[in-house]
Amino acid sequence: MSAALHNDAANQLKALYAEMQPHGLYPLWEVLSALVTPKPRSPAIVHRWTYADARAYLLRAGDLISAEQAERRVLIMENPGLPGSSCATSSLYAGLQLILPGEVAPCHRHAQCALRFVMEGEGAFTAVDGEKAIMRPFDLVLTPGWQWHDHGNTSSKPMIWLDGLDIPTVLHFDASFAEHWPESAHPETVPPGDTSHRYGKNMRPMRGTATDRRPNRQPLFHYPYSEWRQNLDSLVRGSDPDPHFGHALEFVNPADGGAAMPTISAHVRLLPAGFTSRPRAATDGTVFVVAEGRGTARIDGKDIPLHERDTLVVPSWREVVFQAEGDLVLFGYSDRSAQEKLGLFREHRG
């Protein structure tokens, strides 16, 4: 309400509000400006998690609780502006998961879509519907909603990756379901890499044939670093950097050419040594991981140093400028896919 009321009217309104409240009725005019804002007002704040610090805590947890006991031994990367929410942004979750040698994280499935971006270790696996994706640093592995998945480490060293999920989005819609497989691991259905051979080369098995075994809506789930990094290098050789993104590539679902998952978009970008991006703000709050190099993120006039494997969250509608010392490679995921479907996505480029 903008105009002042005389005391009698104000007192009568106050009494009316109190009378309506037990009936679940409230005056919109008292809260309209907070509900329909002229621009986004995310309570999430800019925050960086240094990998060295998070890794140390995660390894200490590994000495105290097993992957089987925890079901998922993960440290939640909670945004300080969203205390108690387990959220990195208002719509996305982030966490660091540890699998020690010889361990298995039990098989389950859930409505939530998830991605795994490998931070450390080599030779462990994520199995999706019984097919293992052998994980190496900076690989992207998806576990799409309602597909069985388990994790195991047959290597001799710890394996750590970033988990990114749409948990807050699913909870917002009250649409969470989950089930557990009766055994700790799903039986192996095909050899590792089978899906990449069938669906990862711009071809696929003929629809309706016995060899078309993956879900039509989401056939591919492993995007190896060795492939996407090579593609970035090819982009560098063949074009000038975009002034806002540098050299950037999106991960796509080969079934429809859209985002990697229905609610989560993911991309990588390479900023050449000495490159400074132009200012950009967007409605999709983004979680970034530094895959290679060092640099700085300038957000709202504040410089945040970036080192390899650090994680940075940039909430909705925060203007960001990236500066690269040497070549800087970033992985990022956001809710852009969901926002575009709902007609909500917007960006501003300076």
**Are 295 and 225 a contacting pair, CB within 8 Å?**
no
**Does 31 reside within a domain?**
no
**Does 37 reside within a domain?**
no
**Does 6 reside within a domain?**
no
pLDDT tens for residues 72-93? Answer: 999 999 999 999 999 999 999 9
The pLDDT, as a whole number, for residue 250 is: 98
Q: Which domain holds residue 89?
A: 47-349
Q: Which residue intervals of the chain are DSSP H helices?
A: 7-20, 32-35, 51-62, 67-70, 167-172, 194-199, 225-238, 336-341
How many structural domains is the chain composed of? 1
**Does 20 reside within a domain?**
no
- For 225, residues 6+ apart whose C-beta sits below 8 A from its C-beta are 118, 136, 137, 138, 139, 140, 291
The pLDDT, as a whole number, for residue 4 is: 61
Structure-token pair, residue 288: 């970034």
Residue 82's CATH number: 2.60.120.10
Structure-token pair, residue 169: 């989005």
Neighbour tally for 53: CB within 10 Å: 10
pLDDT tens for residues 304-316? Answer: 999 999 999 999 9
**Does 341 reside within a domain?**
yes
pLDDT tens for residues 208-229? Answer: 887 888 888 889 999 999 999 9
C-alpha distance from residue 202 to each of 148, 211, 215, 253, 260 (Å): 25, 16, 16, 11, 15
The pLDDT, as a whole number, for residue 3 is: 61
**Are 347 and 280 a contacting pair, CB within 8 Å?**
yes
- Above 80 in pLDDT, residue 6? no
Sign of CA dihedral 323, 139, 69, 90: positive
The pLDDT, as a whole number, for residue 346 is: 98
At 11, which amino acid appears? Answer: N
- For 94, residues 6+ apart whose C-beta sits below 8 A from its C-beta are 76, 77, 88, 162, 163, 164, 287, 311, 313
Neighbour tally for 261: CB within 10 Å: 25
The pLDDT, as a whole number, for residue 8 is: 85
**Does 208 reside within a domain?**
yes
**Are 253 and 220 a contacting pair, CB within 8 Å?**
yes
**Does 25 reside within a domain?**
no
3-state SS of 43-67 is CCCCEEECHHHHHHHHHHHHCCCCH
pLDDT tens for residues 8-60? Answer: 888 999 999 999 999 999 999 999 999 999 999 999 999 999 999 999 999 99
Burial readout 19-52 (b: 16 or more C-beta within 10 A, e: otherwise): eeeeeeeeeeeeeeeeeeeeebebebebbbbebe
Residue with structure tokens 């679940």?
24
Neighbour tally for 199: CB within 10 Å: 22
**Does 233 reside within a domain?**
yes
Sign of CA dihedral 258, 259, 260, 262: negative
Structure-token pair, residue 314: 């940039």
- For 226, residues 6+ apart whose C-beta sits below 8 A from its C-beta are 136
Residue with structure tokens 């190896």?
224
Sign of CA dihedral 76, 80, 84, 88: negative
Q: By CB neighbour count within 10 A (0-12 exposed, 13-18 middle, 19+ buried), where does 193 fall?
A: middle
pLDDT tens for residues 180-218? Answer: 999 999 999 999 999 999 998 888 888 888 788 888 888
Mean pLDDT rounded to a whole number for the chain: 95
